[in-house]
């Protein structure tokens, strides 16, 4: 009997992080005794259904990030894939790396998470994978709060509900890989994984409950908040 297909967890760490004030790649910022990327990789790897963990690194930083993982997460097996010039390019690279396994049916779900969201929990990873397996795709969302529209007559409330989208985002692997191949042929670059899936497939992307603590470390103040929260773990 063949083994059941597995879920793969991916952490994207190929960005720069100029807004956070980092000198270089913000993924290496130290938070409560561990780099931000290590916290994020550990969170993904802790997902009960995640069988493989892949870290997408910025070009030229493989040795640095491999040494960091060996030092900070010695008990975790992490695979490494070089990132692209954009988020979309990095996602395409990692899906190309997984292509043979996806096409063979040994990988059925791919979960993609930002290194800059170090406070995500294993439960969120698990919910995303389960939802993707059952329904096709999953993205965590939070209500955006009060939003106003600026018009010629001044400010007015927006009636429709708006949400803030987070990661991890998880999708069935085969349509996800097909979407990125079609996007390459069309010269399309999505703002996140779900935007590419929604444009090039009929996969239903389902919203799951996000977490206020799962914020993206973007500005200097975020670093202080993340460090304080992580130090309590």
Torsion on CA atoms 9, 96, 137, 170, rounded to nearest 10: 10
List the CATH number of the domain containing 155: 3.90.550.10
Task: Give residue 148's pLDDT.
Answer: 45
What is the structure's pLDDT at 150?
53
Helical H segments across the chain, by residue range: 36-45, 62-72, 87-104, 122-135, 173-186, 193-200, 220-230
| Region of residue 128 (left: phi > 0; alpha: psi -120 to 50; beta: else) | alpha
* Low pLDDT (below 70) residues in the chain: 1, 16-24, 145-161
In DSSP terms, 107 is beta-bridged to 6
pLDDT at 23: 57
Tell me what the pLDDT averaged over the chain comes to. Answer: 91
Does residue 222 fall inside a structural domain?
yes
The tokens for 107 are: 């990988």
**Long-range residue pairs from 141-148, CB within 8 A, at least 24 positions apart, any chain:** 141/165, 141/166, 141/207, 141/208, 141/209, 141/210, 142/166, 142/210, 142/211, 142/212
Say what the pLDDT of residue 134 is. 97
Helices and strands, number each (H, E), in the chain: 7, 12
42 assigned to some structural domain: yes
User: How many Å apart are CA 91 and CA 89, to the nearest integer?
Assistant: 5
The answer as to whether 113 is a domain residue is: yes
* Total number of domains constituting the chain: 1
For residue 148, what are the β-bridge partners?
157
Pair type for strands 107-114 and 169-172: antiparallel
Domain membership flag for residue 148: yes
223: left (phi over 0), alpha (psi -120 to 50) or beta: alpha
3-class DSSP assignment, residue 34 = strand
Q: In this structure, is residue 156 part of a structural domain? A: yes
| Residues of the domain holding 121 | 6-230
Q: Helices in 136-219 by DSSP H: which ranges?
A: 173-186, 193-200
Which helix H or strand E contains 85, and what residues bound it?
Answer: none
Cα separation of 126 and 132, whole Å? 10
Looking only at the bridges linking them, the beta strands covering 50-57 and 154-157 are unpaired
In a domain, 1, yes or no: no
**pLDDT by residue (tens digit) across 27-65?**
999 999 999 999 999 999 999 999 999 999 999 999 999
């Amino acid at each position: 009997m063949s083994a059941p297909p597995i879920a793969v967890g991916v952490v994207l760490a190929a960005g720069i992080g100029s807004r956070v004030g980092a000198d270089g790649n913000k993924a290496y910022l130290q938070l409560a005794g561990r780099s931000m990327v290590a916290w994020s990789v550990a969170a993904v790897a802790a997902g009960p259904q995640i069988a493989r963990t892949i870290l997408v690194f910025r070009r030229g930083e493989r040795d640095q990030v491999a040494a960091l993982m060996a030092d900070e997460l010695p008990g975790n097996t992490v695979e490494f894939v070089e990132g692209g010039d954009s988020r979309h390019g990095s996602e395409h690279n990692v899906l190309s790396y997984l292509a043979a396994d996806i096409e063979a049916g040994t990988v059925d779900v791919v979960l993609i998470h930002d290194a800059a969201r170090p406070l995500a929990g294993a439960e969120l990873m698990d919910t995303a994978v389960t939802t993707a397996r059952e329904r096709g795709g999953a993205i965590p969302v939070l209500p955006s709060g009060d939003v106003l529209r600026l018009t010629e007559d001044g400010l007015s409330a927006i009636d429709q509900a708006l949400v803030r989208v987070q990661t991890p985002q998880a999708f069935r692997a085969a349509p996800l890989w097909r979407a990125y191949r079609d996007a390459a042929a069309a010269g399309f670059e999505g703002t996140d994984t779900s935007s590419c899936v929604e444009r090039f497939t009929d996969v239903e992307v389902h919203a799951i409950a996000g977490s206020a603590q799962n914020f993206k470390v973007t500005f200097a103040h975020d670093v202080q908040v993340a460090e304080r929260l992580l130090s309590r773990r």
